[in-house]
Structure formats: C-alpha cells, structure tokens
Amino acid sequence: MTRQKKIFLSESEMPKQWYNLAPDLPTPMNPPLGPGGKPLSPEQLAPVFPMNLIEQEVSQQRWIDIPDEVRQILLQWRPSPLIRAYELEEALGTPAKIYYKNEGVSPAGSHKPNTAVPQAWYNKQFGIKKLTTETGAGQWGTALAYACSQIGLECKVYMVRVSFDQKPFRKLIMRTYGSRCIASPSPETNIGREILAKTPDTPGSLGIAISEAIEEAVSDPNGETRYSLGSVLNHVMLHQTIIGLEAKKQLAIAGIKKPDVIIACCGGGSNFAGLTFPFMADKINGADIQIIGVEPFSCPTLTKAPFVYDHGDVAQMTPMLPMYSLGHKFVAAPIHAGGLRYHGMAPLVSAALRDKLMEAVAIHQSECFEAGLLFARTEGIVPAPETTHAIAATIREAKKAKEEGKEKVILFNFSGHGLMDLLGYEKYMDGQLSDYEYPDDYIKANLEAIKDFPMPK
C-alpha cells in the first residue's frame, strides 16, 4: 500500500464556527486601557473598527458562527491540506511523526487571508466603503488587498518605505488586486507630511505606517473608512482558529488521537493562536500536549519580556494592551523574518503563556534558514523566513524524540511560502547573514519607558 502524504477535508467539512479561547482561560483577560489608564469602552474604538468586529473583540462566547458568505470565499483555497513530512522525517532519521498544516496555499501565500476575508466582510456589512492598513514586508497588505477585491471594498495600504523600495513585487500584487499601495511616510496624511518635512530620507517604520493608516480612517468626513489590523487583536486570533479546527479533524482521519507536541512561530501571535487554541481547550481539560511558540532571538518577546500593559505602536496611538512586551520603542534587528519583528504579543497568547498553557523558545535566524533549506530540499516547498522558525523548533523536537527513542506526534503550522522572500535565502547561502542578540542592557533600557504604566493582573 502506498502511504498517504496529504489529508484533505471535503469542502462541506470546513468548520462552520470559530473557537474563542477567552471564556476558557483559567484567569480572566485584563481589559485594554484607554487614555488615563481607564478600561476602554467599545464606543471608544468605534471610529477605528466597525461595531460588529468590536463585539467579537470583547466576546466571551465560546463558539461564533462563520457567515456563509465568508465560508464561500474561504473555499477558494480551504480546507488547507494537512501533510505528513515523511521526507523530512527520513532525512532526520527520527521515529517522530511530523505533520504540518500548509497555509501557504492561500492566494496571498500565508495564513493572513483567514482573517482578511472576514474583516472585509464585517466592514462591508456595517456599511463601510474603504479599509486602510499598514504593511511591513507586504504579506498583510497582499491579504487585505485580495480580501477587499472579493468583498468589493476600496483598500489603501501604507507600506514601510524601505520595503516599498526593496520589494516591488508585493506592491504589484496589491495593485493587481485593485488596491492602492503607497510608501510610508507619505504626503497624504498630517503625520506623514510632518515626518517628511523633518526627515525626507527616512526609511519609515511600521509605527509610522500604523499612525498614517489610522489617521486616514478616523478623518474620513463621511465616516465610511475603517482601519484593519492583521494580527495581535482577539478577533484576529478567533478567525485563525479555523486552522486548528481543520487540523483536529484531519489528524482524526490519520488515526491520531492527539498530537504530543504542537509548534508555531510567533510574530503578533495569530498563526500560533490559529493552530494551537483549539488544542489548548483540550489541554485546559487535562490533555497532555506540549505547545511551543517560536520567536527570533533578536526579538525575544515571549522569552525575555515582562507581562505588562503597553501600546501597540511607537506613537502610542493605540490603547494599552495586557501583553508580553519589549516596550513600544523597541526596534528589532533587521532580520529577514519581517513578520516576527513586533515588540509585543497578542493579549490572548500572552494570557496563555502567563497561565502556563504554552512554552516559548527563541532561535537564531541562521539555524532557521538552515532548517528552511532542509525543508525545501526534502518536502519540496520553500518556507517563508517566519515559518522556518517553526521548522527549526520542529527539527529540534524530532531529534530529541530520536535520542529518547520515542514515536511522538509533532504538528506544526506551515504559516506561509517564501517565494517572495528569496533575498533572505540568497544572503544565507552566500554566507552573509549574521545572528543578532541584544545585550540585556538594551532590553532593560526600552522597558524603562513603560515602567510607570499600569500592571495587568
């Protein structure tokens, strides 16, 4: 009998509800705080997000229906395949069974459309005509541009100047989907004009791009523009749980009762939450599952930062969120996994770490690219630099299983393909890549700036 490489679900088996971890957490979530350190009311968020998404953001309902029209669009690539990494297992000589959920099959090439589509849909339902957002490396901008083309919304993406110049293909995909992608800082907002007047040659930053996108959304005189965020927030984690819910059904088809180890990389936390939260529910109910979040050594939010209240952006325009944070002024080294360079972590993922439902590991980028090359040359798919972090941790666990002689089941999230990120691979193969580790003093200095902020429980 030939062995089964991929496990597919039929379209009718795609989940009809998302799973919300919030009501199942052992310790309740701390609320976001507004100006003056007071808990934020939903109305205060209304100029930025539509009320139907704000309701999801604060929801304590365990299961939330996925609207039929959203399911229709997700069917363009979902259910995504669960793949057994036989070739990687053989290369490692491990007795472990390695499975991965391939989120690289989406139109944007990553998990991000799983939330871009429902976000665009809920905005349209609410009567919104246009979405604004920021993008660093371009993955989130691509996902939202795709979603807006499907739903029929105008979309404007502020792309960090340095990436805008270095990654011409990302902005071309956004244009192909009918979105406008402009370099940030731009002359189209007050904050952009101010910054350009002072520093015309600035490379820009995610913080500046966020500020511009929010400014444009809240200053629409017709009130028909809103802002959209690709990770970190509770409703984004919720939309991504379709990944883990599918994986559960697929593992059952493969005859596996439960995975022993689950691994995903962590930037803002959404692909990690998406794969692991449905299994975390089982862990809360007593299942023995090890859940590992992987981050770059150069941006050690989960492994070195404290659990605090902090802003999501440099300009302190966002509310304060309860999260592990390196401080909103922290600037991560220019590693190639651009999606993992965020200073904070999703409040839900932070709560899971605080409650010891997960553990975290930090890995240097050279080990990650080495893992990426091995994966490409065995399983045949080139992973995104972000995804190579999950692969490197998987390889460590598979080697451990070999030493212990244990036939463990390891499941990891293949968050995206790397066909748009080959410059990082080129640097690694040319031996031009360096590893970064911050001195403890730099980390301490950034935390100084938030030492008087309120503390979460």
Ligand X SMILES: *Cc1c(COP(=O)(O)O)cnc(C)c1O
**Site mask, ligand X, residues 387-406, x = CB under 6 A?**
x-------------------
**In the bound complex, what is the minimum distance in angstroms from residue 388's beta carbon to ligand X?**
10
The dihedral of CA 223, 224, 227, 230: what is its sign? Answer: positive
The reply to whether 110 sits near ligand X by the rule CB under 6 A is yes
The reply to whether 386 sits near ligand X by the rule CB under 6 A is yes
Would you say 100 and 265 are in contact if contact means Cβ atoms under 8 Å apart? no
Would you say 49 and 227 are in contact if contact means Cβ atoms under 8 Å apart? yes
Listed ranges 16-24, 75-83, 262-270, 350-358: which one lies at the site for ligand X (CB under 6 A): 262-270
**In the bound complex, what is the minimum distance in angstroms from residue 196's beta carbon to ligand X?**
27
* Structure tokens belonging to residue 322: 């309860």
Between the alpha carbon of residue 436 and those of residues 203, 303, 391, the distances in Å are 21, 15, 19
Residue of 340, 423, 415, 424 whose CA lies nearest to 109 = 415
| Closer CB to ligand X, 339 or 424, in the complex | 339
Candidates 265, 294, 308, 358; binder of ligand X (CB under 6 A) is 265
**In the bound complex, what is the minimum distance in angstroms from residue 387's beta carbon to ligand X?**
5
| Closer CB to ligand X, 349 or 409, in the complex | 349
**Site mask, ligand X, residues 219-258, x = CB under 6 A?**
------------x---------------------------
Amino acid at 188: E
The reply to whether 205 sits near ligand X by the rule CB under 6 A is no
Strand 154-160 relative to strand 130-135, pairing: parallel
Candidates 271, 318, 350, 388; binder of ligand X (CB under 6 A) is 271
Chain residues 416-445 in contact with ligand X, contact rule CB under 6 A: 416
Would you say 240 and 111 are in contact if contact means Cβ atoms under 8 Å apart? yes
Amino acid at 405: G
Any idea which residue has 């539509």 for tokens? 50
Residue of 311, 240, 242 whose CA lies nearest to 270 = 240
Listed ranges 85-93, 327-335, 384-392, 444-452: which one lies at the site for ligand X (CB under 6 A): 384-392
Q: Which residues contact 49 (CB under 8 A, 6 or more apart)?
A: 57, 226, 227
User: By Cβ distance, which residue is nearest to ligand X?
Assistant: 416
Candidates 123, 150, 250, 270; binder of ligand X (CB under 6 A) is 270
* Structure tokens belonging to residue 86: 């036989």
Per-position DSSP letters for 367-405, written without gaps between them = HHHHHHHHHHHHT--PBPHHHHHHHHHHHHHHHHHHHHT
* Structure tokens belonging to residue 161: 């100047």
Any idea which residue has 């105008």 for tokens? 154
| Closer CB to ligand X, 266 or 371, in the complex | 266
**Site mask, ligand X, residues 320-349, x = CB under 6 A?**
-------------------xx---------
The reply to whether 267 sits near ligand X by the rule CB under 6 A is yes
Listed ranges 92-100, 150-158, 264-272, 326-334: which one lies at the site for ligand X (CB under 6 A): 264-272
| Closer CB to ligand X, 164 or 412, in the complex | 412
Q: Which residues make up the interface to ligand X (CB under 6 A)? A: 110, 112, 139, 231, 265-272, 339-340, 384, 386-387, 415-416
